[in-house]
Structure 1
Amino acid sequence: MCKAKSRIWHPFTQHALQGEMTKILRGEGAYLYTADDRRIIDAIASWWVVTHGHCHPYIVSAIQKQAEKLNQIIFAGHTHEPAEEVASLLLKLAPRGLDYVFFSDSGSTSVEVALKFALGYWRNIGQSRSRIVVMQHSYHGDTVGTMSVGARGVFNAAYEPLLFEVTSVPFPALGHEQPTLDALEAACRNENPAAFIVEPLILGAGGMLMYPAWVLNEMKRICETSGVLFIADEVMTGWGRTGTLFACEQAGVTPDIACYSKGLTGGSLPLAVTLCRGDIFDAHYSKDRTRTFFHSSSYTANPVACAAAKANLDLWCNHETYERVASVAAMQKQKIEPFRADARFGNVRQTGTITALELKVCDEGYLANIGPRLQAFFSDRDLLLRPLGNTIYVMPPYCVTSADLEEIYAAINDAADELV
């Protein structure tokens, strides 16, 4: 029988094991403040969404002003200035060659849109191509389509009957990159797939696995040579996380379809976009109404969320934002360095503002028993760190200080002492 005080069902939470939820009253900068007067350092940007800091004044002001003018309008047959401004700025900031912007509400739905773009494109130009190629250990969301193109395992085992089949290529582990490229080339040659979807440079929920930009470049080249659509899921890797605005920049590639969310509004409101090449839009452009792109949600391009996104994009047009990202990356490099020689940890790694390392324990992986113990330990130290099993990662807002990071890494060191 349920003994929880609240009737709220929380995400990715086993309520039979989780204690009472931490009640947060407010956020400011890199900090969260609790109902019992604690200040918590947000070391994972509240599930990777907060970029410039909690309640950034410029973004908050934009939200307030828009809420007083227009808070919602059906986006079919209508438009509004915040959406037009966001689309225009996005196309200027995104890799050259992306021509159209489709709005949705979350990272998962932006990927669903990308998959539907790809299948609709091939159907509308008269080709029967529906196979999707994916990368081992990937994660693209929790809707049925996004679960299908993600790694099969504990996240989606209960829903297996709903999932469609895909072709998987191995993760390009350090020193073993060529098998990935060979497998992708074989899949493109033999299976005539519709698209290949990948998280550029870093696989997030799959364990913060990192691979070099030259591999991303080669994967795009293989897809381009084979005429396979290349989908970049930058829901997590975008907005400076990898050191550049978008991860694809480091490989010098333009995806055919790109998915952006999380930091799109600076972490203030839900919003997502899927960008695509002009010919994908053109394949749906017709006087034949059956070729319409049939996808929407009631809150598509919500004006208030778009106003937040516009304010966030304004900040990304300021060189100081990029300087701050570079500063955080440099601080992260300094703080993680001592752990490379620490025998208690393995696979110590960094890409841009993200660091990760494995705590060496008997059981590893997402369901490693050490995971909940680590999370509780960090919570007691007033840190928001949510390990992926025995993988500890740090992905802070860009307003984090050196002192904050010092506190975070001291706690990681102490956790190894006390829990292992």
Structure 2
Amino acid sequence: MSLQDRDKKHLWHPLRQHQLNPNSVGIVKARGCILTDEQGNEYIDAIASWYTAVYGHCNAFIVDRVYKQMQQLDQVMFSDFTHEPAVRLSEALIKILPDNQNRIFFNDNGSTAVEAGIKMALQYYFNTGDKRSTFIAFENGFHGDTFGAMSVSGLSVYNGPFEDFLIEVERIPTPDGSNHERILRQLETLNTSHKIAGFIYEPLLQGAAGMTIHDARGLNDILSFCKTHGILTIADEVMTGFGKTGMYFASDHMDTKPDIMCLSKALTAGLLPMAITSCTESVYEAFLSDDIAKGFFHCHTYSANPLACAAAIAGIELLTSKDIQGNIKRIEASHERFKNKVREHPKVKGVRCLGVVFALDMDTKIERYGHLRDKLLKFFMDRGVFLRPLGNTIYIQVPYVISDEQLQKIYQVIEEALEIV
């Protein structure tokens, strides 16, 4: 019996209506940029398996580091102990994070990294005797599926049944280069009428919203406003972090740095689940007290798992290497050339690039999880490319080790798809 048939007996997949779409492709091998299914078909992983496997699947350098760590220390609870991989990872991260970040808190995944960041902001003000309950977030943002992360997300396709149970959030538009003065006036009004704990944002690039890009100068002005008015800023870099925007972090594109950062996905190069919420020393100090209750009582069983830490350390070594930085620039240049080639196509409504991210909006209405979107997904898979459209947006976010030939194949199947929509 095939993996696909065995799967249907017991498994419940995310982001799917099983009544309409019960089948899953059985993957048996992954290496570099290639996924291989149980029939031996190969697919270029053009989205790095949800932006995680940025150094390629089963990267030998990372696998070897994790294998060696596995023989030394596999797991130990982090509330009472520390260990070399966690300490080394903190040291490596602080070197590449924005200069104001100084404390590292471990989580399990992107949603829990955001959850911890939200709780840090709320408790920061609670501990200082200034109880605040409102968050500001961008329209159409996405920050995860736990309750706090859902609250600050703005895509009702994910949140609809739970909206009556979420924390208070006021939404603002993303800056587009012409509207940030209007946004600042809105923030002035909100700051007067609400006790605002924090502003959470996806810096420069909103992933689930269709890889929409916003204006760096406008975002910097928003962050400056928050700093001036004592509003903690939380950068959700779960998707954007570790080189995807052409810099180590999307926050590096702005002069004003966040108070709190949320990291996951590419953190461990797609090998093991782990996340981090980092913060400034001043945020951390608000939790220091003779009163035990002012500590941050938030914990995950696998916090700072040594194997995941080993993968993350190896990933950072690759990220900062000359070869990977050169590859990122090569991919950026390739995307720009493809953008210029297809931007005037009659079926293209818009096209944009940022770092290794390429996004193309088709001039066709496609539901986010509808029949036409599924037909498009199958079209790509039948041609040996795994691309996962977000509604009418086709996006690319490839592993940094992809070859020029593989990139050209991705571009080719996108051009072919434009002829059938």
Match of 1:62 in 2: 65
Correspondent of 2:147 among 112, 135, 144: 144
Match of 1:110 in 2: 113
Name structure 1 gaps, 5 residues minimum: none
Give the letter aligned to residue 400 of structure 1.
I
Structure 1 residues 319-398: aligned runs within 5 Å: 319-361=322-364, 363-364=365-366, 366-367=368-369, 369-398=371-400
1:58/1:311 contact within 8 Å kept: yes
Q: TM-score, normalised by structure 1?
A: 0.96
Give the letter aligned to residue 216 of structure 1.
L
Match of 2:137 in 1: 134
Q: TM-score, normalised by structure 2?
A: 0.95
* Alpha-carbon distance between aligned partners in 2 of 1:3 and 1:94, rounded to the nearest angstrom: 44
Q: How far has the Cα of 1:352 moved from its partner? A: 0.9
2:107/2:275 contact within 8 Å kept: yes
Identify which range, 247-256 or 389-398, moves more after superposition. 247-256
1:249 aligns with 2:252: yes
2:26/2:38 contact within 8 Å kept: yes
Correspondent of 2:76 among 67, 73, 77: 73
Runs of 4+ in 1 over 4 A off after TM superposition: none
**Residue deviations 1:37-60, cap 9 Å, x none?**
111100011011111111111110
Match of 1:318 in 2: 321
1:26 aligns with 2:29: yes
Structure 1 residues 208-287: aligned runs within 5 Å: 208-287=211-290
Identify which range, 232-241 or 212-221, moves more after superposition. 212-221
Correspondent of 1:294 among 272, 297, 304: 297
Correspondent of 2:100 among 97, 100, 122: 97
* Alpha-carbon distance between aligned partners in 2 of 1:176 and 1:367, rounded to the nearest angstrom: 31
Match of 1:413 in 2: 415
1:136/1:151 contact within 8 Å kept: yes
Identify which range, 57-66 or 366-375, moves more after superposition. 366-375
Match of 1:5 in 2: 8
* Alpha-carbon distance between aligned partners in 2 of 1:52 and 1:268, rounded to the nearest angstrom: 10
Classify 1:271/1:235 alpha carbon distance in 2 versus 1 (closer, same or farther; 3 Å). Answer: same
* Alpha-carbon distance between aligned partners in 2 of 1:174 and 1:409, rounded to the nearest angstrom: 29
1:305 aligns with 2:346: no
Classify 1:19/1:403 alpha carbon distance in 2 versus 1 (closer, same or farther; 3 Å). Answer: farther
1:157 aligns with 2:160: yes
* Alpha-carbon distance between aligned partners in 2 of 1:367 and 1:316, rounded to the nearest angstrom: 34
Paired residue total: 417
Q: How far has the Cα of 1:178 moved from its partner? A: 3.5
Q: How far has the Cα of 1:189 moved from its partner? A: 4.1
Name structure 2 gaps, 5 residues minimum: none
Give the letter aligned to residue 168 of structure 2.
E
* Alpha-carbon distance between aligned partners in 1 of 2:320 and 2:352, rounded to the nearest angstrom: 29
Q: Percent identity?
A: 38
Give the letter aligned to residue 327 of structure 1.
R
Q: How far has the Cα of 1:271 moved from its partner? A: 0.8
* Alpha-carbon distance between aligned partners in 2 of 1:180 and 1:387, rounded to the nearest angstrom: 30
Q: How far has the Cα of 1:30 moved from its partner? A: 0.9
SS of the residue corresponding to residue 376 of structure 1 reads helix
Q: How far has the Cα of 1:370 moved from its partner? A: 2.5
Q: How far has the Cα of 1:180 moved from its partner? A: 2.9
Classify 1:33/1:4 alpha carbon distance in 2 versus 1 (closer, same or farther; 3 Å). Answer: closer
Classify 1:24/1:3 alpha carbon distance in 2 versus 1 (closer, same or farther; 3 Å). Answer: closer
Identify which range, 228-237 or 366-375, moves more after superposition. 366-375
